[in-house]
Structure 1
Amino acid sequence: MGILSSSLSLTRYRVFQKIPDDFWAEIPDRLKKHKFKDIDQTADERSFGWTSFDDMLDTNWSLASPHKGHYLAFALRLDTRRIPPAVMKKHLRLALDQARMELESKGQKFVSRDQKKEIRENVQLKLFARILPIPAVFDVIWDTSAGTVYFGSTSPKARELFQDLFTNTFELHLEPRNPYFQAAAKTDPDRKKQLDEMEPAIFI
């Protein structure tokens, strides 16, 4: 669900580094450098990158700027091809049967492990070329005045992908705004060790 939806899941982050004033003018170029690249006409398994908050097909921000007052709004798009297990099993079986027939005609009695691996990779590549990728879009809102970044997902894999791409794009690091980091930010440095040594308690 997008950030403009009536309900959604969010992960909050804090940018804890000091950002120079001229950095904000670089945002469009930085986003375009790491923009999403379409894989519909390829056999690639997945592609990811930034795209417009307003239109996931607008990877050049032609319709709307990512700047929204003191906010930045853009999105992470991830396209993934998935081969249903039953489809893979069927076509792998057909390819292996064909390979056995061809090898037997040459006097080879069985398909070697390396040959099986190569056959599997070829089958996977052919199926990827026939399957359209499934798009997923995760909204990003960056409150530049507060240094807070909102990411429209709580999925661990999506969060990891977002954090890595954010760092590569902006050369900045994100700190999750979970209860631990919230407490650590307001705790005296001398008492932080106590926070690190706390263990969860079960009350049932």
Structure 2
Amino acid sequence: MGFANSACSFTRFRILDPVPTELWSQIPDKLKQFAFRDIDDIPEMQAQGWVCYEDMLDTEWVTAPPQKGAYIVFSLRFDIRRIPAGVIKKHLAVALRDEKNRMNEQGKTFISRERKKELKEQVMLRLRARFLPIPSEFNVLWSIDRNEVWFASTQNKMIDLFVEEFLKTFELKLEQLTPYNLADSMLDEESLARLDQLEATQFAPLS
């Protein structure tokens, strides 16, 4: 789901650091520098990076530039290989059985921990070559005037990944706009102190 859909869940952030004036002209190059790199043909388990908002296959922003008036829009693409645990268990068992047969022919019976680890790594490499990564896309909307960034996901894992990638790319720290943080930005010290003294209301009946 993204911002172009009729309904969308998203997380709001504010930028904590001052945004250098020269950054605005550098954004297209920075997005390309940290753009998504495909892992279909290499045995990596996951990959992430920026892509064009209009086309998740476009990592050069040929389709459209990221600037849209008072907004910067792009997407975070995240690809991950998901190999079922049962598949891993089966192929590891086959590899261990074959290893035991080879060792029996040599008059040996014990498989060392290091060899088991090596066999598992070999099994994982073979399986990675057989399972294509699953792609996903999460839209990003950066409001220049409001100094806010909206990210089209509420998953904690994706939020953490997005904040990390944003900092790496633009060298700007983000703070999630939780209800308390919003209140902190709107209230004076006296009102905020009263807010800190409030206790949660118990709606469930007491047993």
Between the two proteins, the alignment pairs up a number of residues equal to 204
**Shift of residue 85, structure 1, vs aligned partner:** 1.4
Secondary structure at the residue paired with 2:203? coil
Q: Where does the alignment leave 5 or more consecutive residues of structure 2 unmatched?
A: none
List structure 1 segments (4+ residues) > 4 angstroms apart after TM superposition.
190-199
Secondary structure at the residue paired with 1:21? coil
- % identical equivalent positions: 43
Give the structure-1-normalised TM-score.
0.94
User: What is the distance in 1 between the residues matched to 2:107 and 2:97?
Assistant: 15
User: What is the distance in 2 between the residues matched to 1:165 and 1:198?
Assistant: 36
Q: Where does the alignment leave 5 or more consecutive residues of structure 1 unmatched?
A: none
Bigger drift between 109-118 and 184-193 goes to: 184-193
Equivalent runs, 1:30-49 vs 2, <5 Å: 30-49=30-49
User: What is the distance in 1 between the residues matched to 2:130 and 2:199?
Assistant: 51
Change (3 A) 1:28 1:113: same
**Shift of residue 176, structure 1, vs aligned partner:** 0.9
Partner of 1:153: 153
Give the structure-2-normalised TM-score.
0.93
Change (3 A) 1:197 1:111: farther
Partner of 2:131: 131
Bigger drift between 191-200 and 169-178 goes to: 191-200
1:34–1:50 Cα contact (<8 Å) kept: yes
1:184–1:195 Cα contact (<8 Å) kept: no
CA shift digits 1:11-47 (9 cap, x unpaired) = 0111132223222000001111111000111111111
Secondary structure at the residue paired with 2:65? coil
Secondary structure at the residue paired with 1:93? helix
1:65 and 2:61 correspond: no
User: What is the distance in 2 between the residues matched to 1:78 and 1:203?
Assistant: 40
Bigger drift between 17-26 and 49-58 goes to: 17-26
**Shift of residue 193, structure 1, vs aligned partner:** 5.6
Equivalent runs, 1:1-204 vs 2, <5 Å: 1-189=1-189, 192=192, 195=195, 200-204=200-204
**Shift of residue 117, structure 1, vs aligned partner:** 1.5
User: What is the distance in 2 between the residues matched to 1:186 and 1:56?
Assistant: 37
**Shift of residue 112, structure 1, vs aligned partner:** 2.0
Which amino acid is 1:5 matched to?
Answer: N
